A and B are shown apart, each in its own frame.
Chain A
Amino acid sequence: MNAALLIDFGSTFTKVCSVDLDSEMILGTAQAPTTVRTDISIGLKEAFSILKETTGIETYTARLACSSAAGGLSVMASGVVESLTLKAARMAALGAGAKVTRGFHHYLTNSDLKIIEAEPPDIFLLAGGTDGGNSEIIIHNAGKLAGLKRAFPIVVAGNRAAADEVQTLLESAGWEVHVCPNIMPELDRLDIDPVNEIIRSIFLSRITHAKGIDKAGEFIDGVLMPTPYAVLSAAVLLADGTEEESGAGGLMVIDAGGATTDVHSVYDGYEVSDDVILHGIREPRIKRTVEGDMGVRYNASTIVETTGKESGGGLSGSGKNGFFQGMDAREIGELLLEIGGHPEILFGDSKKEFDRALCKAAVHTAVKRHCGTYEKHYTPHGARYLQQGKDFTGLGTIIGTGGPLVNDSNPAETLSACLFDGREPDSLRPRKPEIMIDKKYILYAMGLLASIDAGKALRIMKKEIIKISQEQPDGNNR
């Protein structure tokens, strides 16, 4: 048999997925706790032996891994204006599969430097200024970073006119510097790919080693990418297909998790009519956002608190039509305490509704933040709309993944909380997409497999990622 083993060294679990490359079938999946603190190969071997019980397979022709263990890939970014170069820098880092632990704009201050020194990132992305634009800020910020005692690679992707000076400043102070083309060469044009690539290559060359992930070396052929990047690659492949085979078209992947809720989209979102005027930076077709305050376990109380405010109290909160409607505040408070003490808790049937409400609120908020907005202005010649960000109202497909959605008895109902809602007409969320679920949690695995055989990965996704419709009564989707 010609089989591939695909591995995700996650923050909590090491997941493995076995694929028969000839029949293009998933043979089995398994997981065991990640053991990065001792030796990451221990957890891998355990997951592997569980998998072997069901598949019986000992040898694999390819063994590929991705990783978000040991804190994942953390990036701090700085830019000049928050809504311009800092936003672009954030998008580039997120698109490379990193998490952005801090973003700074304008001049770095001494208290910013203390923060950076206290929780140093894996990589610092130094941006700012269009080509020929502001150069003082990036030069100032480079000078500040140069004086720090903690070392990490710095990616420079700012004003071209300042790049030489920034590079010399940092290199002469002994820093590892990677200079990229400007992330925002002109105000209305982003150049994100080079930064994205360099971040991933630093991840491979340095960070997997620094975090002890390469200890699994003898059991695998390589750690190829950060896990979120694997998921994003799978999303791109499923949307766009290969040269021989067409994809599913524009789509969005919603990954609800215990610590964050991530949204990935592969969709243009700028097919605008005459009465729409575009504002703000033009976002990339392939976009990833991470909501670090929307993890259904680690941020449960934040979710309850903030979703009420963000939706103007209409859709969430415990009020009428809210996600937590019908639950009384005391009961919610007790459940939150329970989760706070044991984030790994899985609620029984009686409390499932609360869990589902949390998940709905999280996907609602995460998708709302991912999608663009309209601002309506009346003129004597009818309404005009200012569009900021991508318009997803016409999107064809959304795909749910991640534990809370995959284990939900009615994920379609939960996912529909993220759809367009007439009560929030300015939020350009998908109106009537096909709703699908990554039932076996294979997206990361297909992102990895795509690096050796995109056609097979595409066909397996088409088979395994299944449509679920909202109309089905509860419990029918198991």
Chain B
Amino acid sequence: MNKTLVLGVIGADVHSVGNKILEYALNLEGFNVVNLGVMVSQQEFIDAAVETAADAILVSSLYGHGELDCKGLREKCEEAGIGNILMYAGGNLVVGKTPFEEVEKRFLDMGFDRVFPPGTLPQTGIDFLRKDLGLANISDGGGSL
């Protein structure tokens, strides 16, 4: 069965270009993509994931308030009965000159499973998804989801 991913740009963030590209790339890869678009609240991510029995939540944040917007998301997932769902964050999570490693640690501490630096290509995310969701890599000759 196809794996379901919930995708969106969190908070009051309107940067839509990367979100569209990610949706396109993930669809091509055969994922069942539920794209919530931009300006998505934590509650909307969770509601969508519960209703669609999603396998992962992919949060983007571009405008610099990612940390504030993402706080408490894991706890709310636990509350909603999907505490173990795979959760990624990416986009422009770094504000100012903070080294990425520090930002990454903060997001990992918040309960994200993987955190991606600015400029990450969709393919990088896809490779990790395949691994974390236990799917064969296409290069391994698997192919089907």
Instruction: Report yes or no: B38 in contact with A133, Cβ–Cβ below 8 A.
Output: no
User: Which chain A positions have C-beta within 8 A of B39?
Assistant: 277, 279, 377, 384, 386
Chain A CB within 8 A of B140 CB = no
In the bound assembly, the distance between CA atoms of A379 and B44 in angstroms comes to 21
Binary per-residue interface labels of chain B (45-60) against chain A in the complex, 1 for a CB within 8 Å, 0 otherwise: 0011011111000000
Residue of B nearest to A107 (CB): B81
Interface residues of B in 32-50 (CB under 8 A from A): 32, 34, 37-40, 44, 47-48, 50
- CA distance in complex: A184, B4 (Å): 16
Task: Decide: A81 and B50 in contact? CB cutoff 8 A.
Answer: yes
CB-CB under 8 A for A134 and B52, given A81-B47, A277-B39, A377-B39: yes
Q: What range describes how many residues of B lie at the interface?
A: 20 to 34
Q: Check: A269 CB closer than 8 A to any chain B CB.
A: no
Let me know if B14 and A277 touch, CB within 8 A. yes
Whole-angstrom distance between the Cβ of B6 and the nearest chain A Cβ: 9
Decide: A187 and B32 in contact? CB cutoff 8 A.
Answer: no
Complex Cα spacing A72 to B4, Å: 41
What is the bound-complex CA distance between A80 and B49, given in angstroms? 11
Interchain CB contact under 8 A, B14 and A129? no
> How many residues in A have their beta carbons less than 8 Å from beta carbons of B?
23
Residues of A within 8 A of B38 (CB): 277
User: B40 contacts which chain A residues (CB < 8 A)?
Assistant: 279
Q: Which residues of A lie under 8 Å from residue B68 when comparing CB positions?
A: none
Selected contact of B52 from candidates A106, A187, A279, A377, CB within 8 Å: A187
* Cβ of A89 to closest chain B Cβ, rounded Å: 12
Q: Is the CB of A187 within 8 A of B14?
A: no
Binary contact track A125-166/B, C-beta < 8 Å → 1, others 0: 000111011110000000000000000000000000000000
Residue numbers of A with Cβ under 8 A of B are: 80-81, 83-85, 106, 128-130, 132-135, 184, 186-187, 277, 279-280, 377, 379, 384, 386
A-B contact pairs, 13 of them (CB 8 A): A85-B51, A106-B81, A129-B51, A129-B52, A132-B1, A132-B52, A132-B53, A133-B4, A134-B50, A279-B40, A279-B44, A377-B39, A386-B39
B interface vs A, CB < 8 Å?
A: 1-2, 4, 12, 14, 32, 34, 37-40, 44, 47-48, 50-54, 81
Q: 3 shortest A-B CB distances, which residue pairs?
A: A133-B52, A134-B53, A133-B53
